[in-house]
Amino acid sequence: MKYLLITGSLFSVLLFGGCSSPESEAEDRAEEICDCVKELGIDRNINLFSIQSGSFMRDIDRSAGLKIQRDLLNILKKIDEDIDNLSKEEKKDYTKALMKAMIDTDCSDMALSKIPYDMLGLGIDIMEEQLDQQERYMEEYEEYYDEEGLPDDF
């Protein structure tokens, strides 16, 4: 009987104490941020080409208005309140929990599903080509650059 009482007490403390832990608060904030993103009209139907479209981005900007900005500001204030009385180490833990929680939201899943992984090689080739071009340019005009690759007058 004593064993059941102790086990039940520990379970209750963990269950109810966990509801207000920094980690659960971080999870709540991540969900609130995701809800703001969904309010903007960003959903699973979005694709890479619509993101690059000027009209799509203008529509998102118009729909955001001040309400979404105010909502995000209020979430940031809640985060500030969450970490206000925490030690430096606890703040780091909270931030890690927030980042992990944001990755676990629907919004992160939507974003990650839109990454064109099959085009990664093409992106790498373009980056390499641009880097080679930049190096050739710097070699051609090396008298204008210092050892770190910055313009002399920088």
Q: Give the separation between CA 125 and CA 131, rounded to whole angstroms.
A: 10
Please tell me whether residues 48 and 96 are part of one structural domain.
yes
Please tell me whether residues 31 and 65 are part of one structural domain.
yes
Q: Give the separation between CA 23 and CA 18, rounded to whole angstroms.
A: 8
Q: Give the separation between CA 116 and CA 52, rounded to whole angstroms.
A: 14
* pLDDT exceeds 90 at position 143: no
SS3 content of the chain, % helix, strand, coil (to 5): 80, 0, 20
Domain that holds residue 48: 21-115
Q: What is the pLDDT of residue 47?
A: 63
Please tell me whether residues 122 and 78 are part of one structural domain.
no
Most confident range, picked from 66-75, 100-109, 112-121, 141-150: 100-109
Closest CA to 99 of 29, 150, 20: 29
> What domain count does the chain have?
2
Indicate whether 8 belongs to any domain: no
Please tell me whether residues 104 and 139 are part of one structural domain.
no
Q: What is the pLDDT of residue 48?
A: 61
Q: What is the pTM of this model?
A: 0.60
Please tell me whether residues 102 and 145 are part of one structural domain.
no
Please tell me whether residues 74 and 125 are part of one structural domain.
no
Please tell me whether residues 73 and 126 are part of one structural domain.
no
H or E stretch at 125: helix 120-140
